[in-house]
Structure 1
């Protein structure tokens, strides 16, 4: 089974967020909770339903993840771009933050 994380958009401001291991919706994908077994993935799905019903997030969905250098990274380019921000200027968005461990998108 492929590793999965739960991504969504925060309802209050539309920011892309990922459910963390502590149950907090974080703006940095490197803090995402990653699950690889059926029980863990089911728990992520339950968290998505609860957060959506509580009007915390919208568009919650599971995405494929991989672990690189000990940090979770989205498998698909679309999700890496969502995690980092604009691709036209690397001095803007989350990729400009020093704690970003994803590096360049391209």
Structure 2
């Protein structure tokens, strides 16, 4: 039996800067809070196709599951939570302490 469609957003990486971006109703944003939340599977598929054709701007387009908290999209999976926090190549945690595993 097919799974029920859950809310999603279109996400990708900015081609030139490399950081995570989210599709809005009018373009792209670096903030998940600005993302267009898609609740219809057919519309989500069309938005994903449209985004994947923007090869001069984005790379790695896919639909990411989100949950709505007070009307604002939040990651529904640890991978998306990690991506939404930004690049992991800045010095912090073990990187800042100079210890290497």
- TM-score (norm: length of structure 2): 0.75
1:55-86 CA distance string (max 9 Å, x none): 21001111111101110112001111211235
1:8-61 CA distance string (max 9 Å, x none): 000011011000122x11000000111111221122122222213xx2100111
In structure 2, list runs of 5 or more residues that go unmatched.
94-101
In structure 1, list runs of 5 or more residues that go unmatched.
90-106
On the 8 A contact 1:5/1:44 being kept in 2, the answer is no
Report the Cα distance in structure 1 between the residues aligned to 2:52 and 2:84, rounded to whole angstroms.
22
On the 8 A contact 1:6/1:18 being kept in 2, the answer is yes
Which residue of structure 2 lines up, in the alignment, with residue 28 of structure 1? 31
Report how many aligned residue pairs link the two structures: 85
Cα root mean square deviation, aligned: 1.5
Which residue of structure 2 lines up, in the alignment, with residue 4 of structure 1? 8
Which residue of structure 1 lines up, in the alignment, with residue 53 of structure 2? 50
The structure having more radius of gyration, on CA atoms, is 2
Moved over 3 A (4+): none
Which residue of structure 1 lines up, in the alignment, with residue 63 of structure 2? 62
